[in-house]
Structure 1
Amino acid sequence: MDSAISALVAVLGTLLGSTVAYLFQRKSAERTESFTHRQQLRAERMAVYSDFAGAVTEFRRSQYDRWHRKNEDPDSTDSSEARLESYRLKGVAQHELFRVRLIASSTAVAEGARNAFEAASQLHDASSKTELRGNGNEAKEILERFISLASNDVR
């Protein structure tokens, strides 16, 4: 009888040990999976936000070029090419804006991106070089605000 009780205690101890080890391993695997997911999302957000900032910067530059070419000679091929290039870069920036809206964790980040895109979109409408410069500086500041919001989102 003593040997049967000893065997039963040994089996129960083994089962309990296996169960506890399983629970600890499962908890550890869940933590590792959660950490990996957070790191992957952080890296993806950094890439998307960076791509958006680069696209808006290029779009803003093309808007300057478009404005200057239009004011030099509105009917020239340079003016037409600058306009077409600004349309192309607007499409690229808009695509990046959609990516930001899909991955942003807050509406403030998405709204900041939209504001940066819109500010760059309106540059070519300036009526003077002074207005262009002022609007350009404002667009740059709005993009900087987006970058601040985005950097908080990836920390």
Structure 2
Amino acid sequence: MDGVLSALIAITGTLLGSSVTHVFQRRASAHDQIFAAQQQLRSDRMAVYSDFAGALTEFRRGQQDRWHRKNEDPDGSAFSEARTEAYRLRGIALHALFRVQLIASAHTLIDTAQRAYALTSDLHKASDKTELSALGAQARETLEQFIKIASSDVQ
């Protein structure tokens, strides 16, 4: 009788130990999956935000070049080429903005990105060099605000 009781206790202990180990392994696995997903999202956000900043910087440069070429010779081929390049850069920046809208977790981040894009889009409408410089600085500062907000989104 003592042998049967000892065997039952041993079997119960083994089953209990196996069950507890299984539960802890499932929790650890779930934790690892969540951690991996968070790291992937962080990495994706860093890439998207960085791409947006780069695309907007290039778009701003293209818009300023467009403005200068127009003021030099509005009927010249240099202006036509600069305008075409500005349109191309606008498309790239808009695509990057859409990616930000898809992945960002905060509305303030999206709003700031949209504001930076809009300011950059309007650069070519400046009436003189002083206004172009002021609008360019405002667009750059808004992009810097975007980067500041984005950095907290990837922490």
Cα deviation for residue 42 of structure 1 reads 0.4
Residue aligning to 1:115: 115
Identity of aligned residues (%): 58
1:46 counterpart letter in structure 2: M
Residue identity opposite 1:122 in structure 2: D
Q: How much does 1:76 deviate?
A: 0.5
Deviations 1:40-79 (A, max 9, x none): 1001000000000000000000000000000000010100
Q: Deviations over 1:14-57 (max 9, x none)?
A: 00000011111111111111111111100100000000000000
SS at match of 2:74: coil
Give how far 1:154 is off: 0.4
Cα distance, 1:139 vs. partner?
0.5
Name the counterpart of 2:16: 16
Match of 1:101 in 2: 101
Structure 1 unaligned residues grouped into runs of 5+:
none
Matched position secondary structure for 1:127? coil
Report matched runs for 1:129-148 at 5 Å.
Answer: 129-148=129-148
Letter in 1 for 2:58: E
Count of aligned pairs between the two proteins:
155
Q: Which amino acid aligns with 2:37?
A: H
Q: Distance in 1 between matches of 2:79 and 2:15?
A: 80
Q: Which amino acid aligns with 1:44?
A: D
Where does residue 71 of structure 2 map in the other structure? 71
Residue 52 (1) aligns with residue 52 (2)? yes
Query: Considering only aligned residues, what root-mean-square deviation do their CA atoms show, in Å?
Result: 0.6
Q: CA separation in 2, counterparts of 1:150 and 1:49?
A: 7
1:112 and 1:103 mapped to 2: Cα distance? 14
Unaligned runs of 5+ in 2: none
Query: Structure 1 CA distance, aligned partners of 2:63 and 2:89?
Result: 9
Runs of 4+ more than 4 Å apart: none
Q: Which one-letter code corresponds to 2:90 in the other structure?
A: K
Map of 2:61 onto structure 1? 61
CA distance in 2: counterparts of 1:90 and 1:152, whole angstroms:
27
1:2 Cα deviation after fit: 1.5
Deviations 1:86-143 (A, max 9, x none): 0000000000000000000111111111111001000000000000000000000000
Confirm whether residue 154 of structure 1 aligns to residue 145 of structure 2.
Answer: no
State the distance in 1 between where 2:60 and 2:116 align.
10
DSSP-derived class of the 1:61 partner: helix
Instruction: Give the secondary-structure state (helix, strand or coil) at the position aligned to 2:145.
Output: helix
